[in-house]
C-alpha cells in the first residue's frame, strides 16, 4: 500500500488523501510467485466509486506501471471440468481429460478438445460451439459465457 501512496499522488488527491486509501481498497489475495517476486498478481477489493476512478488506468509501483483491470474468476472442477464446483465436491467417479473429453489415463490425442464446449454441444444434440481449443483458452465460448454471467452479477455501483 505504501508504494501505491508514494507513486500515485494524483490518485491520492482524487480520493481525498492517502489516509482514505484504506477505506477504498483492501487486499484480497496474491497469485503467482512469492511476495518478493515482481511477477505477483495482487487482487484488491475496491468500492464501486473507487473502481470507476481506476479501472483501465495505469498505476505506478516502483519503477514499473501496471494497468488496473477487473479480476473475474470462474470456479472450475479439475476432475470433470464443469463450472461451479471444485474437485473435492465433484460427483464424477473418474477424472476427465482436459484436452479431449475422455478419461485422463486413456489420453493419446495431441489435438485439443474443450470438454466444456463439448458437453454443451452434447446437451443440445448438435454442434453449436467450436471445441477445438484447450480448456481456459481465449477461444472458449463456455468460459466466455461464464465470465459474462459473473460480470453481470457484480454490483459496480
Q: What is the pLDDT of residues 27-56, one digit of tens each?
A: 888 888 776 676 778 888 888 888 888 888
pLDDT given for residue 54 in this prediction: 80
Q: What is the DSSP letter of 83?
A: B
Q: Which residues of the chain have pLDDT under 50?
A: none
pLDDT given for residue 113 in this prediction: 82
Whole-number Cα distances in Å, 42 to 35, 36, 123, 138, 151: 9, 12, 38, 22, 19
Specify the 3-state DSSP secondary structure of 156: coil
Half-sphere exposure of 147 (CA within 13 A, CB side): 13
pLDDT given for residue 99 in this prediction: 60
Specify the 3-state DSSP secondary structure of 61: strand
Amino acid at each position: 500500500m505504501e508504494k501505491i501512496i508514494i507513486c500515485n499522488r494524483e490518485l491520492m488527491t482524487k480520493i481525498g488523501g492517502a489516509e482514505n486509501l484504506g477505506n477504498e481498497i483492501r487486499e484480497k489475495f496474491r497469485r503467482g510467485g512469492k511476495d518478493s517476486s515482481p511477477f505477483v498478481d495482487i487482487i484488491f477489493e475496491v468500492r464501486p466509486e473507487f473502481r470507476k476512478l481506476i479501472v483501465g488506468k495505469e498505476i505506478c509501483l516502483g519503477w514499473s506501471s501496471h494497468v488496473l483491470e477487473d479480476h473475474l474468476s470462474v470456479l472450475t472442477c479439475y476432475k470433470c471440468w464443469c463450472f461451479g464446483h471444485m474437485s473435492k465436491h465433484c460427483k464424477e467417479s473418474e477424472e476427465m481429460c482436459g484436452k479431449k473429453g475422455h478419461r485422463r489415463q486413456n489420453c493419446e490425442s495431441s489435438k485439443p478438445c474443450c470438454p466444456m464446449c463439448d458437453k454443451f454441444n452434447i446437451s443440445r444434440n448438435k454442434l453449436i460451439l467450436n471445441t477445438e481449443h484447450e480448456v481456459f483458452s481465449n477461444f472458449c465460448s463456455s468460459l466466455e459465457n461464464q465470465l459474462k454471467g459473473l460480470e453481470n452479477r457484480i454490483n459496480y455501483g
